[in-house]
Structure 1
Amino acid sequence: MAFGRRNRRPTLLGTAARTAVIAGTATAASNAVNAKAAGQQATAQQAQMMPVPEAAPAPLAAPAAAPVDDLLSKLERLAALHSSGALTDAEFTAVKASIIG
C-alpha cells in the first residue's frame, strides 16, 4: 500500500489556502481599480478648479486720456483758487508752469 492519501480530494487546509490566494488576488485587483479611479477623479477635480487663462483685454483709450484729464483738472482747480483770491498772479503763474512743464 502507498503512503499518503488514497483519494484525490483536496484537504481542508488546501481548500482554505486556495481560497485565501483567490481572495487576496481579488482584493488587490479591486484596490488597484479603486486607486486608479480615485486618481482620475482627483485629476478631473483639479482641472475644474484651475482657472482658464483669458485673453488680455484690449487697452482702452480712456487710460491714455487720463493724464490729460488729470492735467486739466489740476489746471481747473488752480484757476478756481486764483479766481477766489487764494493765489496771487505770481503764484498762479509759477504753479501753472510747474504743472504744464
Structure 2
Amino acid sequence: MGLIGGMARTAVVAGTATAVSNRVSRRQAGRWQAQADAQAYQQQQYQQPPQPQYAAPPPPAPAAPAASGSDDLIENLQKLGALRDQGVLTDAEFEAQKAKLLAG
C-alpha cells in the first residue's frame, strides 16, 4: 500500500472518530437537556403559589349567662305579682305582661 493507501486509511479512521465523537456529544447533550428539563419542571412545581387556605369561622359569641337572665325574669315576675296584689294591675293585665316576659 503506498502513500495514498495510508492517507486513505488515516482519513477513514479520522472520519470514523469524528462521527463517533459527534454521536457521543449529541447523546450527552440530549441527556443534559433532559436533566435540565426535569430540574426546571421540579422548580416550577415548587414555585407555584400555594392554594389559599381559608381560616375557620370564629366561634359564636358566648350566650348570656342563664342565671342572670333567669334572675331578671324572676325579679320582673315578682314585680308584676306585687303590682297585681296592690291592685295596680288586673288579673288580665298581669297575665298579658307575664306572657310577654316569658316569651321574650
TM bucket (normalised to shorter chain) is: 0.3 to 0.5
* TM-score, with length taken from structure 1: 0.47
Larger gyration radius, structure 1 or structure 2: 2
